[in-house]
Structures are given as structure tokens and as C-alpha cells.
Structure 1
Amino acid sequence: MTDRTGDRLFTPAYVLLSVADLGYFTAVGVSVYTLPLYVTGPIGGDRATAGLAFGVFAVSALVLRPFAGRLTDVWGRRPLLVGGALLAALGLVLTAVVDSLALIVALRLLLGVAEAGFIVAGFAALADLAPPARMGEALSYNSLGLYLGLAFGPPLGELLVETSGFTTAWLVAGGISATSALLALGIGETRSAEPVPEGPRKLIHRKAIAPGIGFFTALAAIGGFLTFAALHADAIGMGQASVPLFTYGIVVVVCRVAFAKVSDRFPPLRVGAAALGLMSAGLAVAASWVTPTGLMIGVVLLALGVTFSTPAFFSAIFATASPSERGAASGTASAFIDLGLGGGPILLGLVAQSAGIPWAFAAAAATTLAGAAWTLAQSRRPTLVR
């Protein structure tokens, strides 16, 4: 088992986990830029099929998240971290050699299996390693790997596609994910040494559902933005279509560092409600001000909201779980990631296809506003206020 001492946060295992996350999400960032253009270009699809291809991974990931959570509580975190990263590498490499939408959808389903294992185990390991009083801070710093990956992955994907083609982009993404698997091997097992309770174990951590609904609305909006930001930037005449995604990632990274301790100082669900309100404002600006300036202002507001959303919601969720329930809590909470990041692009893709991308952003703004109202109401319930 990995050694954890007192209130120290930046242990070798914590740092190694964060670097492994950086590699995994850089590979994801390459695919975020590459996949929609690949589907609407060489594959010959339209915006709706691009949304379908982007979001279909959620089907397999959603089904398997609760089982992954249970397995991490029984087997440990490291097997799923390593296996998930290796399976993602395989799916990304194979994408380079397929030429039909059906095969791309099949590989995206495989990537959903990989994501279920890697992300559920990663969040559970993070909860193991973080001192309880610094959970929000730990989530904020650890998430830098995700957002740096989403910041630099798309420009890397754009560079690779423009200089070497789609095949090279997929192969490089697969290699980066394989490197993350090697890093995960060095983390050690973080699961508590206490015996796993006997008897039947629940797949769903019920106390995670109420805050998870608010988290879902944030993720649905983020999923729609990630899917259509590059296409929208190109449509309104931005010279570099990856600039909005890069800006989004950088703003989140800088603000996560600057405001890392906010979720530990204020009730996290109230922070989550405020974050959703900021996200709604940013998406509304991007939807109504259809120029490069409007898009960039909207991106900054959206990123400011996202800065606080994930640490706030996960802090609220893990506060309801004992050490032996962290895998189940992670599996339940991250199932909402699949529903949001998978379902959001599919549903908003239909809106974009029928009415245009600005209307898809407007629908996302309405969704996050409803989520803010729901989360604020939940924060007033005594059993959920933290």
C-alpha cells in the first residue's frame, strides 16, 4: 500500500497520479480536436454524426462505471488505472486504420470501457491520497492534468493533422496514453489496508445522486462546447480553430491554482451552484454574440465556472463516503460524467444540425441555469450541506 502521512498533500504518489492524468487527458485532448474533423472530413459525416461519434463512448462507460467502482474497492485502484490507460492506447491507435463511421463508433465504445476503469480508479486513488481537510484543494491541483491535457492536446492534434495527417495524430495520442499506463504502475496501491466489509456491496452510492444531477448539467454543457468549439470557431472566421479550446484549458488551469482552496472554505454545493451560473452566462454570451470576440468572452466565463464545478461537486460527494465506499462513490459520481459528456454532445449535436451551433450553446446555457437552481436547493438540505 502507498504510504500516506498526516496532512501532507504533495506526496510522490499524488504527484505521479497527477502526471499520469496529464498524459491520459493530453491523449484525450488530441482526440477532442481530431475526431469531429475526422468524422466530417475523411469519413464523410455531418455535425450530427460527429456528435454521435464523440459521445457514444458514454454508453459503455456509463454501464461499466458502477462495476469499475466496485472492482476498485475489492481489487484495488492500480489494476484499473493501468488497464484503462492501455486499453485507451489500443483504441486510439486502431482509430488510425479504420475508415467507416461504424468502426469508429465501435472503437469509441472500447474507449468508454477504458475511461470507466481509468477515471473511476483515478478519483478513488485521489480520495485515498488526499487529507480529508484538503480534498477540494487536492481535486483542484490534480485536475490540472485534465485541463492542461485539454489545453495542449487540441493544438497538438491540430499541429499533427496539418503537418502529418490524421493517422499520425491518432498514433501519437495512443503513445501518450500508453506512457500514462507506465506512470500508473509506479503509483503503488492506494486503497486502505482495512478489510473490505463482507456481504453484498451496492453498485450505486445513493448519496451521490442528488449532487450528481447538478454535476451532470455542467458536464453536458462542457461536452457540447468541446465537441463544437472548433467547428464554431472555423465557421465565424477564427484563424486557428483550436484557440477557444486552448484558452478554455489555460483559464481553468490558472484559476484552479489561484482558487484551489475555495471548496474547502465554503459549502461545496453552494460553490457548485455559483459555478453553474457562471457557465450559463458564458454559454449565453457565446450563443448570442456570434463573433470571435463574443466566443472568446464566453469561453473565459465558461472556464471560470468550470474552475469551481468539479472540485465542489466531488468534495460534496466524497464527504458522504467512507474509505471502503470511495470506489462506489467514484463510480456513481463519474457515471454522471458519461451522461453529461456523452449525452450532451449527442443531444446538442441534434440542435446544432437543425438550428446551428449558437442555438446548441443556448440550449447548454439553459441546462446549466437549471442545474444551478437544483444545486442551490440541494445545498439547503441538512443531509447534503457541507
Structure 2
Amino acid sequence: MTSTSASAIPAPSRSAQSRLLLLAAVLFISYLCVGLSLPVVPVHVTTRLGLGNFWAGLAVGIAFLATVLTRATAGSLSDRQGPKRAVVRGLAFYVAGALVAWLAGLWIPTPWIGFGLLVAGRLLLGLGESLVAVGVIGWGIGLVGPARSGQVLALVGAAIYGALAVGGPVGLALLERFGFAGAMAASALLPCIGLLAVWRLEGVAVQPGAGRPSLRSVLGIIWPHGLIVCLQGIGFAAIGAFFVLHFRGQHWSHAGLGLTAFGSGFVLVRLLFGHLPDRIGGLPVAIVSLAVEAFGQALIWQAPSPVAALAGAFLTGLGCSMIFPAMGREVVRLVAPQLRGTALGGFSAFQDLAYGLTGPVAGLLADRAGYGGVFLIGAGAALSGLAIALRLRSVARA
């Protein structure tokens, strides 16, 4: 596969770059809703509601499953009506989901009614995340051009995982101080700031196209790249859903720093090496990244101390960081311009699938083998993704 030199790609205008940074800031603010809830939801389910690890994992994962089921719709909406409309609608769903979850924290006549309300809020949050993320990606590529799609995806990921790094400890602090309802009330306010920021921001033109093939035909082109992202996402999902519970089970302190360690490594690589997929191609970047992620997950699995476990989370963040933009850059190159939203929506759904399934499946595993085994599964998944990436690389060279 040939690579485009970074110096040969025209630089975007200062105005376009500024709007792209504003969109990344909006994504960061909105995704704090996800970051706040990741460590808070399983603690709420297992302590306040008194339910087991499977239900805690399901409550976390159901939002990502909702995102999986709506990515194609979000991408199609972005392609047909423009990414701005997708972003605005997504932010509104974020607010609605946080308010329903807030009600779930206030009104718990029975554990199962409280759990049902929580799940309803998580489903709305998942729909909001789907629309905002796909919309911001399409909007950003429309601003700076497809040749810089890797950098757009890297910036988007830095915003998302930066929010996760901040949101984890902030969510636990809010839980300790104001309870679950207080944390969800804060989550409802954040997307409102995003709505104010984008309301008067100029959108980008819808790309013309003669025909739009089915999602199935698009997935037939991009599925190997999506599968790599899916396997990569299992490691992050394991940290998001079970790192805090793993620390509590070991009687270790500083459990809230797991997502911070992951997010710090993630953002560090994005800021230093976000240009690499556009410069040298996505597959070489993914191959190195998956190897690092596998090592980080294995380190958490065998960690004898909290410091070692946090180091494993940091290494997992380093490894996960560039896989999504690396594979996304390849996806953008494989489809026509009018199909970018649909393709990226389907592509992103693979990652959401990992997030959605890991929670409940890993919860069942944790009930039987302890929390450490969850991270062994994450290491194996990363190694499987590495094997697929090496295969795609060998085919590209042939």
C-alpha cells in the first residue's frame, strides 16, 4: 500500500483548523458523560442496587450496544442531512439519557425498577454518543479534507479518551460527595455547553453521490479493519468496567486512577504521533500498537501491586491510542466521499460492539475466575488483532 507524504498534503486554513479544534472540544465535553459514568455505574449497581457483576457489566455495556445498533443510522443521517444535524441531535440525546439516569438515582422503589431506569438512560446515552462521534468525524473531515482523515480521527480520539481520563476520577469524586444522582445531574449539564458551542457554527456541505449502496456492501469492504478495532476495544472495555472493582477486590487504593493512567497514555501518543497513519500508513502503526496493548493487559492480569496494574493501564492506553485512526484512515481510502459517514459509522460500530459485549461477558468470567482473568482475555484479543493486521500487511505487500 502506498503512503502519502505528509508534506504533500495541503495544509488546512486557519479557520478550518480552529473549527476542528472547537469540534474536538465539544466532543470532549460531551464524552465526559461517558467518562463520568464508567466507574460510577458498576459501583452503583453492585452496592446501591445490590446486583451482581453480570448486571454491572450489562449496565455499562448496554450503552455501547445501543451505539452499535445506531451507528449506521447516524452515519446515514450525517451523509444525507449533514454532520451538524447529527451532532446537535446527539447532544440532545446525551442530555435526555443523563436526566433519565439521574431519575434512576433518585427513585429506587425496587432494585429492578432502578436498574430498568438506569438501562433506559444508558440506551439514550449510547444513541447520543453514536450521533455526536460520527457527526464530529464527518464534520472534521469535511473541514480539512480526506487526506488528513488520520489526523482528524487522532484528534477525535484524543478528545474522547482525554474525557475518559478526566471523567473517571471526577465521576468517583462526585459519587462520594453527591451520590449517583449528583453525578448524573452533572452529566446532564455538560452536553448543554456543547449545544451552545455548535448552535451557530457553520456546517459543511453534504457530499453529492449518485447511489448509496447498502450498509452490508460497505461492511463487506471494511470488516477486517473493523474487526481489528473490535479486538482492540476489549482491553479498554475491561479497564472501564472492571478496573475499579479489581482494585477493590485486591484492597488496593487509588482505584479511580485506572482510567486516568489509560487516558494519559492514550492522549500522549495521540499528541506526539497523531500524524503517523497519514505519513506511513495505518497498518504499520496498528501492528506496533496492538503488541503494546497486549503487553499492558497481561501486566494488569499478573500485577503484584497497584503500581504495576496502573502501569499496565498506561501501556494499554499507549497501545490502544492509534489503532482507531490508523484503521479509520484505511477505511476512508476504501470508500467514495459520499459514503464516508456510513463507512465510518459501520467501522465505529465494531469498536462499540467490543465495548458492549465485554461488560456482561467479562462480568460472568469475573464471577467465576476473579477480575484478573478479564485482562487476560483483553491480552488475547489484542494478539488476535495483531495477527489480522499482519495478514492484511502481507496481502498489501503482495
Q: How does 1:146-161 map to 2 (within 5 A)?
A: 146-161=160-175
Letter in 1 for 2:139: A
Partner SS state of residue 214, structure 2: coil
- Of 8, 11, 19, 1:7 maps to 11
Does the 8 Å CA contact 2:164/2:259 hold for their aligned counterparts? yes
Residue of structure 1 in register with 2:139 after alignment: 125
Is residue 308 of structure 1 aligned with residue 312 of structure 2? no
Residue of structure 2 in register with 1:171 after alignment: 185
Identical columns (%): 27
How far apart, CA to CA, are the structure 2 residues paired with 1:130 and 1:348? 40
Is residue 281 of structure 1 aligned with residue 285 of structure 2? no
Residue of structure 1 in register with 2:3 after alignment: none
Give the superposition deviation at 1:178. 2.2
Residue of structure 2 in register with 1:82 after alignment: 88
Further displaced range: 235-244 or 74-83: 235-244
Residue of structure 2 in register with 1:60 after alignment: 66
Residue of structure 2 in register with 1:297 after alignment: 311
Letter in 2 for 1:334: S
- Of 201, 204, 208, 1:195 maps to 208
Give the superposition deviation at 1:6. 4.8
Further displaced range: 57-66 or 279-288: 57-66
Further displaced range: 49-58 or 234-243: 234-243
How far apart, CA to CA, are the structure 1 residues paired with 2:249 and 2:118? 25
Which TM-score applies when normalising by structure 2?
Answer: 0.90
Residue of structure 1 in register with 2:97 after alignment: 91
Residue of structure 1 in register with 2:358 after alignment: 344
Residue of structure 2 in register with 1:229 after alignment: 243
How far apart, CA to CA, are the structure 1 residues paired with 2:101 and 2:87? 22
Give the superposition deviation at 1:162. 1.4
Residue of structure 2 in register with 1:50 after alignment: 56
Is residue 137 of structure 1 aligned with residue 143 of structure 2? no
Residue of structure 2 in register with 1:106 after alignment: 120
Deviations 1:143-172 (A, max 9, x none): 221122111111211221112221111000
How far apart, CA to CA, are the structure 1 residues paired with 2:74 and 2:155? 24
Residue of structure 2 in register with 1:25 after alignment: 31
Does the 8 Å CA contact 1:214/1:375 hold for their aligned counterparts? yes
Partner SS state of residue 345, structure 2: helix
Does the 8 Å CA contact 2:100/2:120 hold for their aligned counterparts? no
Higher helix share: 2
For residues 316 and 202 of structure 1, do their structure 2 counterparts lie closer, same or farther at Cα, with a shift above 3 Å needed?
A: same
Further displaced range: 117-126 or 362-371: 117-126
Letter in 1 for 2:92: L
Does the 8 Å CA contact 1:147/1:253 hold for their aligned counterparts? yes
How far apart, CA to CA, are the structure 1 residues paired with 2:286 and 2:57? 27
Which TM-score applies when normalising by structure 1?
Answer: 0.92
How far apart, CA to CA, are the structure 1 residues paired with 2:254 and 2:72? 39
Give the superposition deviation at 1:8. 1.6
Residue of structure 2 in register with 1:375 after alignment: 389
Is residue 263 of structure 1 aligned with residue 277 of structure 2? yes
For residues 191 and 280 of structure 1, do their structure 2 counterparts lie closer, same or farther at Cα, with a shift above 3 Å needed?
A: farther
For residues 315 and 61 of structure 1, do their structure 2 counterparts lie closer, same or farther at Cα, with a shift above 3 Å needed?
A: same
Does the 8 Å CA contact 2:146/2:332 hold for their aligned counterparts? no
How many residues in Structure 1 have an aligned counterpart in Structure 2?
Answer: 377
How far apart, CA to CA, are the structure 2 residues paired with 1:20 and 1:149? 11
Q: CA RMSD in A?
A: 1.9
Letter in 2 for 1:95: A
Give the superposition deviation at 1:92. 1.0
How far apart, CA to CA, are the structure 1 residues paired with 2:144 and 2:362? 36
Residue of structure 1 in register with 2:4 after alignment: none
For residues 254 and 200 of structure 1, do their structure 2 counterparts lie closer, same or farther at Cα, with a shift above 3 Å needed?
A: closer
